Structure 1
Amino acid sequence: MAARQNYSAGRQQYARRSSERNSASAQMYVYGNVVTKPAYEPRRHEKSPERPVKRTSRQVRRNRRQALHMSSAYVVFLTIAALMALIVCVNYVQLQSRITSRSKNITAMQEELADMKEENNTKYNAIMDSVNLDEIRDKAQTDLGMVYASPQQVVEYDNPATDYVKQYESIPEDGVLAQSDKNSK
């Protein structure tokens, strides 16, 4: 305590001397381009007096100790919960990684499909442009002797079973190949 009083007394004397110096230097004229800055010191705040310590009852202290104490079952429960949370987080990150890689794979396949479709359309258009149906008809009629069918040669028929024909036998004169249950009713 005595050291503290001596220290604060020394500080007060220093503050008085520096204020005297500052007032004297404020009246002096300083030559040159460098002006010394006055030394300012922050004010020291005195500590507030300490509050008296209240004595707590034995029951309050026991309750506080019990509140701070964790049982071994609670520690095990917290450890298991933390491990489960860690496992869930790791699985979530792995799932996100798989989703991202599959998304990139799908994007690459879609680009490949678009390229193949474009190439296929280009080849199809080139083939269609190279085929001239008038030229083929003229060549078939003149060189190969093709003639159009006469109306007596055309036989129309109803095929109720399917919408396409596979001819394994002759087509009957009446034009009906087969009867289905739908048409007979």
Structure 2
Amino acid sequence: MASTRNHNRYDNRRAQVRQAYYEDGNAARRLEEVPVRPKKKLSKTAQKNRAKSTNMGKGYIAFLILVCALATGACVHYIKLTALVTAQKSAVDAKELELNELKSDNDAYYSEIMTNVDLEEIRDRAINELGMEYAEEDQIKYYTPGNNNYVRQYQDVPEK
């Protein structure tokens, strides 16, 4: 019987040594890695303080609801503004596309008109049919503008 006791002590000691050298991941995990601690008796003031710290009053809950509502409202407002900006950008892009199409149409019409105009025919018709002549040197009046890029005419230009 004494040999059985010694043998059990040896097995127990051997199991403790194995547990001491256990490395995580080299075998199946142990189910109880965190030791269970016995609960201590707390004083009444400590129990009251713990209960008070875990308790949420009505005012605190109302404050949290108000903060959540404000945050939600701010997020909704931000999303609406983002959608508005996106819609305006797409409207501007559509207008720019329309402007580019109109410019290209205008350029095409201008090119078509300019190819159909024969300046030599216009000069011949003006001189022969309408009796127009080139201006002589004494009929030409030169004007040098000031700082402005435009000229205002306050009265008619005299004939002679």
TM range (shorter): 0.5 to 0.7
| Residues 165 and 132 (structure 1), Cα distance of their counterparts in 2 relative to 1, 3 Å cut | farther
- Letter paired with 1:137: R
Q: Which residue of 2 aligns with 1:64?
A: 50
Q: Which residue of 1 aligns with 2:141?
A: 156
**Larger Cα-atom Rg:** 1
CA distance in 1, matches of 2:31, 2:69: 51
2:69 matches 1:83: yes
CA distance in 2, matches of 1:58, 1:119: 90
Q: Among residues 80, 87, 94, which one is paired with 1:101 in the alignment?
A: 87
Q: Which stretches in structure 2 are left out of the alignment for 5+ residues? A: 1-26
Question: Which secondary structure does the structure 2 equivalent of 1:51 belong to?
Answer: coil
The structure, 1 or 2, with the larger RCO (C-alpha pairs under 8 Å, 6+ apart) is 1
**Deviation digits for residues 18-62 of structure 1, max 9, x if unmatched?**
xxxxxxxxxxxxxxxxxxxxxxxx979675874322111111111
CA distance in 2, matches of 1:61, 1:45: 34
- Letter paired with 1:163: V
Q: CA RMSD in A?
A: 3.2
Write the mapping of 1:1-185 to structure 2, written as runs, cut at 5 A: 50-152=36-138, 154=139, 156=141, 163-165=151-153, 167-168=155-156, 171=158
Q: Which stretches in structure 1 are left out of the alignment for 5+ residues? A: 1-41, 174-185
Q: TM-score, normalised by structure 1?
A: 0.59
Between 1:81-90 and 1:45-54, the stretch displaced more is 45-54
Residue identity over aligned pairs, in percent, reads 32
